[in-house]
Amino acid sequence: MNIVRWDPFRELNILRDEMGRIFDQTFGRQQLMPVYGLGPKVDIYQTEAEVIVSAELPGLESKDDVEITVSEDTLSIKGRIKKSEERKEENYVHTERYYGTFQRMISLPAKIKPEQAKASYNNGILEIHLTKDTPEKHKKIELDFH
């Protein structure tokens, strides 16, 4: 007879797995990216002159499905990804693709000029170019001499 060490968390893990299975069977599992969620995955990098944000947004059907708002230090991306094919939920075996509304607020690493922002969308990738607002490095000041 083998002696097995008692693990107090083993029963909790079994209970959690069983509860998850019950909820999946009862309610099904929808893959939505809700407004309060993380939103699209992004890469942010910068050059000397600009900040570039690249976001994964597969499934956008038109430019009206996404709204981009820029301020001096914040970028907001929100929109809706529609379900591309109409299938009954009970026929799904597994789904990982998401659909629904999304929102992502991003604090930018530098002050930018919102009026010069440009965005493009190609092959499921949204790319936003933001020109940095570079203050003058040197400013000549006139001396008020009396």
Residue 56 sits in a domain whose CATH number is 2.60.40.790
- Residue 30: the pLDDT is 47
pTM above 0.85, yes or no: no
Mean pLDDT per segment of 10 residues, for the chain of length 146 residues? Answer: 73 80 65 51 93 90 90 91 67 69 89 93 93 75 72
Bridge partners for 120 per DSSP? 127
Query: Is 35 a domain residue?
Result: yes
- Residue 130: the pLDDT is 95
Contacts of 142 (CB under 8 A, 6+ apart): none
The total of structural domains in the chain comes to 1
Query: Is 105 a domain residue?
Result: yes
CA dist., res. 28 & res. 26, Å (int)? 6
